[in-house]
Amino acid sequence: MSEPANGNDGRPTRVTIREIAELAGVSIATVSRVVNGRGDVSAETRENVQRVVRERGYTVNRSARGLSAGRTGFVGVTIPKVHPVYFSSILSGAAEALSEQDMRIVLCPTEHEHDREVSLLERLMHGTTDGALLVLPEETNDELESLLNHGYRFVVIDPLKQLNERVPAVSAANSSGANQAVRHLLALGHRRIGAITGPNGWLATEERRGGYHAALASAGIMPDPAIEVASDFQIEGGIEAGGRLLDVAERPTAIFAFNDNLAIGAMQAARSRGLRIPEDLSIVGFDDLEWAQHVTPALTTVRQPLAEMGRMAVSLLTRLLDNQSFEALHVELATRFIVRGSTQRVSA
């Protein structure tokens, strides 16, 4: 039988839930379900996890950290919707990281409604939770700063608007990801590169637009408003916007869509006009959601570290709750460009 690890002073060091999960060969969420007595685990898996827990001397210690600091052990998460893969990926990362801290989620879908979100936050901050993660929040900078002034701790994930320096936030490197996507198309010989953007004024839209324009400028190409169309980040919006781009007199040879939904919509618009992808039209997306590699052809796209954004936000929040100092409250995580089958060199 394995013995619990000892620290430098000879006393046992506390084993983490992540270590238990690795030793048992299961997920952190599964370990959490077992130690909390949940029934949705097979008998074999439960026995395996409990064996490792006994061998490593793991104990659930919510009260030691939470009660000593006057905490509830709960963290609010406001999120526009739970179902879309984009949001659920962020949520899964946050849930895993909170589980490692023996903390629990109070989930609050907002449906992109400002008043609903404000009401939910008022409830969360009055003793219900220790802090919150705000995904794509609708609140203004003034409203967010008011929360800080009242002593409530929170971290914004994927800000909707540009935030003041005081407001802690985690986002992806939108500008550099977009720049890399368009440079890829330029390297394939494309010079007339259309764009389907997100809603004007959204931070992600403006940062990706900046990367798109910067890449064009690096090749001496001026942006053409005729082939830059705003949309709503939905597949249906991509179909409509893609059709508008492809119906101009001099249609683009490539389209950079500001998310994967828009890219898939643009694919449908192209096929409805008898165009082949990538022979007649190259398409690049942004996000690398689960279905990006399952469409035909598989989508070339920019991968956002969505689950890691959730985990990083939890890390920032726990440090805020522990009153640790920060050099920077805004964290931008790197994206990764993924080349698949939806792009190729422009036809002569």
At 7 the pLDDT is 47
Quick check: 198 and 208 in contact, CB under 8 A?
A: yes
pTM above threshold 0.75: yes
- The Cα 265–Cα 237 span in angstroms is 7
- The Cα 97–Cα 327 span in angstroms is 22
Quick check: 261 and 233 in contact, CB under 8 A?
A: yes
| Class level of CATH domain 174-304 | alpha beta
Phi (first) and psi of residue 287, to 5 degrees: 135, -50
* Sheet of 193-197, strands arranged across: 228-230, 193-197, 254-257, 282-287, 300-303, 336-338
The CATH number of 1-60 is: 1.10.260.40
Other beta carbons within 10 angstroms of residue 92's beta carbon come to 16
Residue ranges covered by each domain of the chain: 1-60, 71-171+306-332, 174-304
Per-residue pLDDT in tens (0 to 9) along the chain, 348 residues:
344 454 444 444 557 777 888 898 988 778 877 876 666 788 888 888 889 888 887 765 544 444 444 678 899 999 999 888 999 999 999 999 998 888 999 999 999 899 999 999 988 988 789 999 999 999 999 999 999 998 999 999 999 999 999 999 999 999 999 999 999 999 999 999 999 999 999 999 999 999 999 999 999 999 999 999 999 999 999 999 999 999 999 999 999 999 999 999 999 999 999 999 999 999 999 999 988 999 999 999 999 999 999 999 999 999 999 888 777 789 999 999 999 999 999 976
At 145 the pLDDT is 93
- The Cα 102–Cα 235 span in angstroms is 38
Q: Do domains 71-171+306-332 and 174-304 have the same CATH topology?
A: yes
Tell me which fold the domain 71-171+306-332 belongs to.
Answer: Rossmann fold (3.40.50)
At 274 the pLDDT is 97
CB-neighbour burial class of residue 8 (10 A; exposed 0-12, middle 13-18, buried 19+): exposed
